[in-house]
Structure 1
């Protein structure tokens, strides 16, 4: 099984995913961003589009990497990755379904003001213009498709540990996150 932790940049996916992994038996974290970083290392460079997710190889490589890791190691993969383009999400989720891999898709959400505050005051990464560029893109995806596609975990008033508790409890119980 895959537990996909989606949401915009800066909402806490990586931290929450590590905590979810600790709460699920036989779970590992696989960050799909590493697949993008591998493609970014191709030399000479692939034509830059502004985001490695736009490269056609990225999405099937994410599917294939997850499939191969699950075939090799079994268990559960917790995958933190922002996917805000509906067609990209469909390509990934359909690809995983074709291999018979169940996916629980969670979306970490916080209100825009709280999100901007977190991004501007992040003590680990520091203020990030990259993350800020995605606040409105996330809001549009959330409004048009993303929240309907995933189980929304509102993190406006809770931290990563509480979000991880909700996700892990939902996965273990086979019920929606509350």
Structure 2
């Protein structure tokens, strides 16, 4: 089974994906962004745009996920913002046509909730967690610029199942996804401190340096 976790940038996709991986034995995270970063590194800086517009990215993501789903026995988790309907059909639709069990979830939240999460994620979250100071929205201009488009597109029926996360913790989002997919995750035994440290570390590990 593939769990594709969609949502706006800063919507909690990566945190939810790694929470699921932690609590679903045998599961793996296959992050489609890595294909895009590889393509960017092969391309002169002046030619780099949105890597999702490259057919090589869409084909590469399809092939890697198809290969992994065919060979790996456990659940495969793909956290990725994907809001272009044609691109969605090109990847998710083709995987379903290949006979794979693809469960798609769009993590949605009110605009202010996402902006708050953007302020907190990565080093911003680490700084706030350790010092109590807000690191602001530095380095998040791309995510903010795309936010309204993402929220509008992802509300569409094509991008269901929708999971509204404003009042849910990361473990609760993971529980909601697992339950909808018919999966039984291990219990969440983290307390507030350990859970906060774990999510901070996950955020720091996934800071993108371009």
Q: TM-score range by the shorter chain?
A: 0.7 to 0.9
Total equivalences in the alignment: 171
Q: 1:72 aligned to 2:84?
A: no
Considering only aligned residues, what root-mean-square deviation do their CA atoms show, in Å?
2.1
Query: Conserved in 1, the CA contact under 8 Å of 2:5 and 2:77?
Result: yes
Shift of 1:133: 1.1
Deviation string, structure 1 residues 55-110 (Cα, Å, up to 9, x no partner): 11111110100111223323211000000111110111122123211100001111
Q: In structure 2, the residue corresponding to 1:57 is in which secondary structure?
A: helix
Which position in structure 2 is the counterpart of 1:20?
Answer: 20
Q: Contact 1:23–1:168 at 8 Å: present in 2 too?
A: no
Please list the CA deviations of residues 27-68 of structure 1 after superposition, one character each: whole Å capped at 9, or x if unmatched: 1111000011111121556943x3100111111110100111
Unpaired runs of 5+ in structure 1?
none
2:116 maps to which residue? 117
CA contact (8 A) 2:108 2:164 kept: yes
Q: Residue 36 of structure 1 corresponds to which residue in structure 2?
A: 36
C-alpha separation between the residues in 2 aligned to 1:72 and 1:83?
A: 25
Distance (Å, rounded) in 2 between the aligned partners of 1:42 and 1:153:
36
Question: Who is 1:168 aligned against?
Answer: 178
* 1: CA distance, partners of 2:89 / 2:42: 26
- Aligned partners of 2:101 and 2:29: how far apart in 1? 16
Task: Determine which of 132, 145, 161 is the counterpart of 1:151.
Answer: 161
The answer as to whether partners of 1:60 and 1:95 remain within 8 angstroms in 2 is no
**What is the TM-score normalised by the length of structure 1?**
0.86
**In 2 relative to 1, CA 45–65 (structure 1 residues): closer, same or farther, beyond 3 Å?**
farther
Map of 1:132 onto structure 2: 144
Larger Rg: 2
Residue 106 (str. 1) matches residue 105 (str. 2): yes
User: 1:11 maps to what in 2?
Assistant: 11
Runs of at least 4 residues off by over 4 Å: 43-46
